[in-house]
Chain A
Amino acid sequence: MDNLARKNSDGKETLLFDLSQTTVRDMNQFLHHNLDKSNVSNIRIIHPDGAHSIAVGLEVPVNIEIEGHAGYFCAGMNKQANVTIKGNVGWSVAENIMSGMVRVKGYASECAGASGHGGTLIIERDASLRCGISMKGVDIIVGGSVGNFSAFMAQAGHLVVCGDAGDGLGDSIYEAIIYVRGKIKSLGADARIEPLTDEDHKVLAKLLALAGFKHDTKEFKRVASARQLYHWNADANQEY
């Protein structure tokens, strides 16, 4: 393996993976099997060059920095790890994330945080279509705007959008909560705008602080389920 180790001031090590020299497969296998036995606390990955499945399936509390753009499924199914992508990401970043944190410094393509069960996903610029689709407990904080059909069938967790939201926001949403600062092009079936409660202000302030975004929580709207589709209903005009 062509990874170079460097000692940090705390006695732990930083490892370097150069993906122009090492395959994603070799690196992932190292991250899966060799990290918990090692003294490594930080990983730097250079030359990601849009490769898919970088750092997927991690289950140790390690800090990972990816220096550049990553492809699909970056940090997929993450547990515990803290992954920062200093670039843009392809589809489905942090899909099915369970815990830990994934931060995208640039833009995210479609399905960011899809079906995430826990942890935090921060996207500093915009996210594309279906951001937070099927989310099940993850908190997603987007510095910019999100595309159409975001939070489709979202079950639990929070989606914070500091910019605008596209068409069909929160379609068929269950118990997840969406906060939007900008314009909402349209709401999806069973989603409705509601006033923020005191608890919402607290939760939202915490999430914004976690992401490092400085906005007043009063500028946000809350979108949640009207719960009209929770039971099969003949009068729902085929919406269910």
Chain B
Amino acid sequence: MSNLSKEPSFLFGEDTIQYIQHAAATGLYDIRGLGAKRYLPSFDDLLFLAGSASRYPLEGYREKCTTTTVLGTRFAKKPIELKIPITIAGMSFGSLSANVKEALGLAATELGTSTTTGDGGMTSEERLSSKTLVYQCLPSRYGFNPDDVRRADAIELVIGQGAKPGGGGMLLGQKITARVAQMRTLPAGIDQRSACRHPDWTGPDDLTIKIQELREITDWQVPIYIKIGATRVFNDVKLAVHAGADVVVVDGMQGGTAATQKVFIEHVGVPTLVAVQQAVSALEEMNMKDKVQLIVSGGIRSGADVAKALAMGADAVSIGQGVLFALGCNSPTWIDHDGQHIDATEDYTKLETMPGFCHHCHTGKCPVGVTTQDEILEKRLIPEVGARRVKNYFKTLNMELTTIARACGKSNVHHLEREDLVALTVESAAMAHVPLAGTNWIPGLKEI
């Protein structure tokens, strides 16, 4: 037996020591892409109570189960009608390549769902390839153009993102090619800090008037969404509704990003599970449920996650990271025109990472050509190939969703309800306002 003393510290574990020593050596904080990696209560902590003797299930593959989703019914003359309640989240051109933007548009169009622009404006590729395109109005207003406002199918006013509520955007110089720089009216090669506050309004009263301006410009035709990063969700949703939103998008702290400070990703905001519950409670308290639609995002991976979000009261979900993974993010290979898988592990090594662990979107050197502006790397993602993969992924999610809905006896996925769910842990029961499995106990709400 060795006498080597190896008593690990919980407080100052290996990772923490490494973090402190990195900070000491460089004076830098970490910036990275994707979302929170730490454990957080999530939809995994909920389970469905499907049909049995007391509930009547529908036949798995045969009986109809509707997934049609209508968004923006409150004020817009032309609400958005989607075939599935699963949408593609706003991701900027700049963080993603033009090929990826085109792939997302093609996939969304084939699936009958929407895709969304991002910080940096609308590209012609995505407008041409997307039947239903949501145009983001962000604090930076990079490339913001009234012509694009007029050709959008909905406008999403972004107040915050789940990965970095209260923080602005960040696109490091290595991703700023001439095209990206031109769209953002800035010199190529410099780091771009997108503002965290809108330039032309500040408080909720101004927001009301801002929404009115956008409605006037679009002749009250298209829905106006408000996107918030999940923090004080209950109050923020109420303010968004009060300000006149048709649709509220709530992005939980598991949500992905192209680049932000790690301290933000891991320590700011509340989990999506909490966010959905608080958003739905706010809508219910205002008697606005089903009048204002709710889109939920932040860590949605599977059909089960979608079903749970809908059962808790969301009208649709929105996906970012899952889409990146479908496109090949963190895969050891990329796919060429002949369908061959080409090894990319060396490029992961150059980034000092490996497939399965990469979160290096901020570098612009994405080994599989997803989050890059590099002329060579971006060719690794062929729009048609990417579109097919995203389409397959969303189809799978939708099939899983309808499988669960049918098992719960619902002929429409929007009929899933909180009553269909139980919680596995006391904490998730309290956060989601769903009873702990085997009890009728919702901590903080009801006693046994």
Contacts and interface: CB of A to CB of B under 8 A. Distances in A.
Contacts of B217: 28, 56-57, 76-77
A71 to B, nearest CB: 8
Contacts, number: 110
Interface string A172-199: 1011000000000000000000000000
Contact of B173 (A71, A117, A155, A231): A231
B393 to A, nearest CB: 34
A3 B195 CA distance: 42
A117 B147 CA distance: 13
Given A29-B219, A52-B213, A57-B146, A96 B27 contact: no
A235 B27 contact: yes
A133 B195 CA distance: 11
B195 A98 contact: no
Interface residues of A, number: 44
B145 A117 contact: yes
A120 interface: no
A174 B186 contact: yes
B200 A240 contact: no
Contacts of B26: 234
B143 to A, nearest CB: 9
Contacts of A28: 216-217, 219
Interface residues of B, number: 35
B209 A73 contact: yes
Interface in B293-311: none
A139 interface: no
Nearest to A98: B146
B56 interface: no
Contacts of A114: 141, 199-200
Interface string B31-46: 1000000000000000
Interface of A: 24-25, 28-29, 32-33, 52-53, 56-57, 59, 71-73, 76-77, 79, 91-92, 95-96, 98, 111, 114-115, 117, 130, 133-134, 136-137, 152-153, 155-156, 172, 174-175, 230-232, 234-235, 240
28 contacts: A25-B216, A25-B220, A28-B216, A28-B217, A52-B213, A53-B212, A53-B216, A57-B217, A59-B146, A71-B209, A72-B206, A72-B213, A73-B213, A77-B149, A79-B147, A95-B200, A96-B141, A96-B144, A98-B146, A114-B141, A114-B199, A133-B199, A133-B200, A136-B141, A155-B184, A155-B186, A230-B173, A234-B27
Given A96-B146, A240-B191, 14 more contacts: A72-B209, A73-B213, A76-B217, A77-B149, A91-B200, A95-B199, A95-B200, A96-B144, A136-B185, A155-B184, A155-B186, A174-B187, A231-B190, A240-B193
